[in-house]
Amino acid sequence: MTTAPEAPAAPVRRRTGFTIVDTDIHPACPPAELVRRLDPAARRRYELFGSRVPAPPDVYPRVRNSGYRLDAWPEGAFPGSDLQLVRDQLLDEFDIDHGVLIPLQSHSWGAETPEFAASLCRALNDWVAECWLDREPRLRSSIAVSLESPELAAEEIRRRSGDPRFCQVLLATGGESGFGRRRYWPIYAAAAEAGLPIAAHTGGLEQHRGAGWPSFYLEEHVWNGNMMGSLVTSLLCEGVLTEFPELQVVCVEGGLAWAAPLIWALDDGWAALREDVPHLDRLPSEILREHLWFTTQPIEEPRDPADLATVIRHLGLGERIMFASDYPHWDFDSPTAAPRLFPADLRESIMGSNACRLYDLPERVAA
């Protein structure tokens, strides 16, 4: 007599009742998939020399497993490269309505020669479209661009902007120059023309500006907000946010507690130094509150949650904060555990409604 195999247990659904939009999911394109989408010249270069990688992350201690969840490694592959595993561990597991992809590989491609960097970004976007967006309607993606060759980046933005599944343009927080400098303005012009937000994600070429490389991973991990503040200040003071009044800027993976005191300081300094920045014709706080958005992972977690509520109240941008899990990284925030961090009156909007408004996504219909 044979015994029928036991049916696998049904997955436990952790539905919260909120519309859930995860605004920070990292896909990883396998090298073979990238290479076969490159033009011949770029393919030849990649096969001969590969791509450069930023040196700093390799010179001080990092967390094990490259900073990824132990259970997020597909067999023989890299975390974020297997769509079905992402469905199993994130989209289905937490009943997520929409997910926004942020492909990090383009962050370091700014160090490549311009045409090669642009080819790599095109191939990465092609892979995302074919292997993720075509197969999973819950997903949207950021447009990977060659940051240090802005004219080519603008071409890629215009090439992708007709596809509504690409919902924003991906920027890093670390580049060769401050991202407010005019050399980068073609990127902002193309994004504004397409009606797409800019998403600034922690990382890039110069990851630890101002004081050299860190000695410990802890130093890097808690520094993200400072990098984000530097980028935001550059965009404001160089005039990007006044030149492109419709442009929206999403601060991804940089926390938010830094923003209120920065805005206070900018307002105070502007009152005395406004002749230095005549293009800023009103309080910096007024300009920034019309442009900035924030994602939650890694949101600051004080021992008393009331302190975070106070920070958000001081910031005055509760309607512009969006949930992010940062899957598949080690410090992943669960969509069921994270809401406890947020003020009760903002939980539903942070978990989904705010992102639906920014990215023009439908909200969950109540049963």
CA-nearest of 62, 319, 96, 348 to 215 is 62
Residue 2: is its pLDDT beyond 80? Answer: no
pLDDT at 6 over 60: no
How many whole angstroms from its chain centre is CA 49? 28
Asked whether residue 310 carries a pLDDT value surpassing 60, the answer given is: yes
- The pLDDT of residue 207 is above 80: no
- Residue 211 falls within a domain, yes or no? yes
Q: Using one digit for the tens of pLDDT, what is the confidence trace for 333-357?
A: 999 999 999 999 999 999 999 999 9
Q: What is the pTM of this model?
A: 0.92
Q: Which residue has the higher pLDDT, 277 or 8?
A: 277
Do 154 and 190 meet the contact criterion of CB atoms below 8 Å apart? yes
DSSP3 helix / strand / coil % (the chain, rounded to 5): 45, 10, 40
Identify whether 365 is part of a domain: no
pLDDT tens per residue, range 297-306: 999 999 998 9
Q: How confident is the model at residue 210 (pLDDT cuts 50, 70, 90)?
A: low
5 in any annotated domain: no
Whether the Cβ atoms of residue 324 and residue 303 lie closer than 8 Å to each other: no
Q: Which residue has the tokens 């998939």?
A: 33
For 52-71, letters b (16+ CB in 10 Å) and e give eebebbeeeeeeeeebbbee
How high is the mean pLDDT of the chain? 91
Domain contains 4: no
- Under the banding of pLDDT at 50, 70 and 90, the label for residue 237 is very high
Per the domain annotation, does 7 fall within a domain? Answer: no
Strands 198-204 and 139-143: unpaired
Q: Residues 41-99: pLDDT tens digits?
A: 999 999 999 887 655 555 566 777 878 899 999 999 989 999 999 999 999 999 999 99
Please give the residue range of the domain that contains residue 78.
21-359
pLDDT on residue 13? 53
Q: For residue 18, which phi and psi values (nearest 5 degrees)? A: -80, 155
Q: Is the pLDDT of residue 319 over 90?
A: yes
Cα 93 to Cα 91: distance, rounded to the nearest angstrom: 6
Interacting residues of 77 by C-beta distance below 8 A, sequence separation 6+:
30
Measured CA to CA in angstroms, residue 264 lies from 116, 268, 291 at distances of: 42, 6, 16
Q: How confident is the model at residue 169 (pLDDT cuts 50, 70, 90)?
A: very high
Q: Give dist(CA 44, CA 48) in Å, integer.
A: 6
Mean of the pLDDT values across residues 316-338?
95
User: Is 241:288 a contact under the CB 8 Å cutoff?
Assistant: yes
CATH number of the domain enclosing 125: 3.20.20.140
pLDDT of residue 110: 77
How many distinct structural domains can be found in the chain? 1
User: Residue 297's CB: how many other CB atoms inside 10 A?
Assistant: 21
**4 confidence band (pLDDT: 50, 70, 90):** very low
Residue 167's Cβ-side half-sphere holds a number of Cα atoms within 13 Å equal to: 21
Sheet with 198-204, strands from edge to edge, namely 21-25, 98-101, 139-143, 166-174, 198-204, 249-252, 292-295, 321-322
Mean pLDDT of 155-171: 97
Domain-embedded: residue 8: no
Q: Is residue 110 part of a domain?
A: yes
Quick one: pLDDT at residue 15? 57
- Pick the range with the lowest mean pLDDT from 128-132, 227-231, 249-253: 227-231
pLDDT-derived band at 8, boundaries 50, 70, 90 = very low
Structural domain contains residue 309: yes
Q: What is the pLDDT of residue 208?
A: 59
